[in-house]
Amino acid sequence: MSDIKKVVLAYSGGLDTSVIAKWITETYNCEVVTFTADLGQGEEVEPARAKAKALGIQEIYIEDLREEFVRDFVFPMFRANTVYEGEYLLGTSIARPLIAKRLIEIANETGADAIAHGATGKGNDQVRFELGAYALKPGVKVIAPWREWDLTSREKLMAYCEEHNIPVDFNKKGTKSPYSMDANLLHISYEGGILEDPWAEAEEEMWRWSVSPESAPDTPTYIELTYDKGDIVAIDGKPTSPADVLAYLNKVGGDNGIGRLDLVENRYVGMKSRGCYETPGGTIMLKAHRAIESITLDREVAHLKDELMPKYAEVIYNGYWWSPERLMMQKMIDASQERVNGKVRLKLYKGNVIVAGRQSDDSLFDESIATFEDDAGAYDQKDAEGFIKLNALRMRIAASKGRSPLK
């Protein structure tokens, strides 16, 4: 007899999680609560309610979390210019801590003993969900069916559906994508299918959010982003909410062939994985944020941020959003953004994000000093001689002691 009486399941309404809902009910002889989050995945989430009801679910949570997702997770991450392994903008990674947070909150609200998810035992998401859950509710039990059951193929899942009268109407168009996909307002990811061969080029018809750079308009698109403390608050002078900022940038970026990525990444569980991503809005945000920081951040602060960023990215990728180290780094990052205010003008053209201008009342750029024209004594070039000699002193001493770098 299981000691688990109620489970909160992260429920998409798709085949896997519908099977999981039924499987948990039978295996653990317990009640299941479903939670479906709208993170801007571009598909209706309300049909999940009817599917959950058809499975006999009594408590159903469907929530629009788009604003919270961008405001409290995506924006803080982009203040750090976060990129994992030089390329990946962490679109999947950054969504998981929010889902984990709501799973735990709903468990507390409903008196559930456990949470459950549909992540497989090979991926990163199981780690991210569970690390987040344990950080927020140390004693919570976690059910991960892919690590327990023997339904290890789509055929077995379909047979289970037939045996238990689970309706399979999840693909009304009659065609199923050969890829495993995950989408939210920040990105859409593709894995599996031909992508399991790292030599195979992604098919053009796979991409959903962007045109190819070759097919993008021949005329560039200009946009202006306004920043307040490191976050975008207006587009072309119009105040815009965080979720609407990202939605707009996704559209204008995708229309201009921006944001496609094909990479092989190192998963936390140890294996390498090839995936393709579309992150048009995030690609624009990264370029623009670095542009506004270039005139508002002190040099050493900017360099320290760049040194910190790979660790910060790794922490998020590996699922430690709610860890003390991420919270500590976030305070440092946020402190650096106090004067990251102003405007950035961008030119979007055939897959490229080109900075066309930046301005700020908090700018540290001083034209009177940087000018190549007469600076009227603002900078004494003779000072550079002593600066250079002092910085060369240790190398001059070493060379005079026979430690030439050419030997």
Return the structure tokens found at 355.
Answer: 């900075």
Please say if 16 is a catalytic residue.
yes
DSSP bridge pairs for 226 = 234, 343
Contacts 24+ apart (CB under 8 A), 200-207: 202/262, 202/276, 206/177, 206/179, 206/276, 207/260, 207/276, 207/278
Burial of 294 (0-12, 13-18, 19+ CB in 10 A): middle
Alpha carbon dihedral 133, 137, 139, 140, in 10-degree steps, equals: -50
Return the structure tokens found at 206.
Answer: 């796979």
Place of tokens 């210019």: 81
Which strands form 114-116's sheet, in the order they lie side by side?
59-64, 31-38, 6-10, 114-116, 141-143
| Residue of 66, 79, 96, 326 marked active site | 96
| Residue of 2, 72, 180, 255 marked active site | 180
Which strands form 188-191's sheet, in the order they lie side by side?
180-183, 188-191, 272-278, 260-266
Rounded CA-CA distance 232/249 in Å is 11
Return the structure tokens found at 282.
Answer: 């995030």
- The b/e string for 12-48 (b: 16+ C-beta within 10 A; e otherwise) is bbebbbbbbbbbbbeebebbbbbbbbbbbbeeebeeb
The gap from C-alpha 369 to its chain's centroid, in whole angstroms, comes to 39
| Residue of 113, 125, 182, 231 marked active site | 125
Please say if 339 is a catalytic residue.
no
Please say if 125 is a catalytic residue.
yes
| Residue of 16, 38, 113, 231 marked active site | 16
Please say if 326 is a catalytic residue.
no
By annotation, the residues acting in catalysis are 16, 96, 125, 180
